[in-house]
Amino acid sequence: MKSKLIHILCLCVLLLGFTLKPEQARKPITLKLLTQTTKVVAQDRVQLRFETEAEDLKLLVSNALGSTVLEPETTSTQQSFLIKAPYANASGKLDWKLIHNKNILMQGSLNIKPDTSKIAAIESYLGPQRILAGGADFAQLTLLATDVYDNLLPDATSLTLATRFKEQQQTEALRVKNRIAWKNLFSPQKTGTMFTAVHLNERSSKLQTIYIDAHLATDFNITYERPNPFADADQITTFKTGTIKDQYGNLISDATLVNFVIKTQDSQLLQTSGATLNGVAQAQILHPNRAQNWEVQAFITGIAESNALTIAYAPALDAFPLEWDETKAVVKVGPLTGKLQQLLAEGTPVVLQLKSTKGTYTLEKKTQEGKVEFQLNTSFYKPGIYDLKVTVLGVSKTIEKINLY
């Protein structure tokens, strides 16, 4: 019994001893960041070094590309983390966290800058490629310069812009802002071709070309030429503009359409057109088929117009032979000759009109060797007394009271 009590007392003493003994404190982790810089230039690798005896450390790095976990290279008192591409050469903010047993021991960030000493490319974009002369229109040049890691160069980087127009060449500095550089290239007053390029250190952009076209046409004059003044429906009148220019004295662009509008004596509107070449446009139209006056004016639609011309066309013939053969019921016209006693052109239209109390008939034929014959068959035309009228190129001749039977 006594021995049992002794055992119980010993057990209590042991339990009290374990309960009252203070818990052994964990050994604190000593940690020091040896890499003091926070700004680095983009490169293939960046190293972060820590002075510590702790083990099982990991480094979580993240940037715009994503995140990754790195294992250290360990010595007795130091642990190094090697950050490689693409995290080490992508410009911008790189965040890091040093982790031990899921706890963050230390965190920070690196500001990775583009490597301006290693320019890989200068991309240039231009638009529009064609602009109007005069100084108000412009093409915009936009530039993207990158280092060997494809990082856009930082703000305030200075690029050199060179432009050439005819014999004039100039250079100026362009500074990067918001990672791009740009310039509005305004047109000169004269037409021509402008060239532009940009360079930085040993790198250059491609050559860009801007075409300076003439501005809007100003009003202009027109003239006409024709082989004769007669309304013969055979010859051609040619209309021609003077040299059309813009307000700065530039020839308007080739292929500009000029419309020549003709108002006839009976208020009909005719039109012919031509495209400019070296500032001049020409157009042609057939002479009218009867004597009359034309009013002619030319237009570049919505932009410019010409002076107005009046052109008079005289009768192509004074009179012509006309015969009625009653026995054969044939109307004979011709030979038809012009002012020089030449036969009228083949295919000249001749119009016959038959009129009686029973009705009116109109027939048309075209000349062959200057003549036309109309056969009036009584199986078609009602027998009776008719007046006939023949018209050629606006000149008419009549025979009254012919008898069809």
Chunked in runs of 10, what are the mean pLDDT values of the chain (405 residues)? 47 44 59 93 93 91 95 88 94 96 94 93 96 97 96 95 96 96 97 97 95 98 96 95 98 97 95 98 96 97 97 92 92 91 91 88 92 88 89 92 85
The pLDDT, as a whole number, for residue 27 is 64
Tell which phi-psi region holds residue 252, choosing left (phi > 0), alpha (psi between -120 and 50) or beta.
Answer: beta
Give the tens place of pLDDT for each residue, 20-51. 344 444 567 889 999 999 999 999 899 999 99
DSSP secondary structure, 62-105, as one string = EETTEEEEEPPEE-SSEEEEEEETTTTTS-EEEEEEEEETTEEE
The pLDDT, as a whole number, for residue 15 is 44
Instruction: Indicate the CATH number for domain 222-315.
Output: 2.60.40.10
Q: How far is CA 90 from the centre of its chain?
A: 36
Where do we find the tokens 């500032």?
Answer: 279
Q: Tell which CATH architecture fits domain 31-113.
A: Sandwich (2.60)
The pLDDT, as a whole number, for residue 54 is 86
The pLDDT, as a whole number, for residue 17 is 46
Q: Same CATH fold, 119-213 and 31-113? A: yes
- N-to-C CA span, the chain: 175
* Domains of the chain by residue range: 31-113, 119-213, 222-315, 322-404
322-404 CATH fold:
Immunoglobulin-like (2.60.40)
Cβ neighbours for 382, distance < 8 A, ≥ 6 positions apart: 356, 358, 359, 404
Correct CATH for 119-213 of 2.30.42.10, 2.60.40.1930, 1.10.10.10, 3.40.1280.10: 2.60.40.1930
**What distance in Å separates the CA atoms of residue 380 and residue 389, rounded to the nearest whole number?**
19
The pLDDT, as a whole number, for residue 403 is 87
The pLDDT, as a whole number, for residue 12 is 45
- The pTM of this model reads 0.73
The pLDDT, as a whole number, for residue 79 is 92
Cα 158 to Cα 145, 151, 161, 198, distances in angstroms: 10, 16, 10, 10
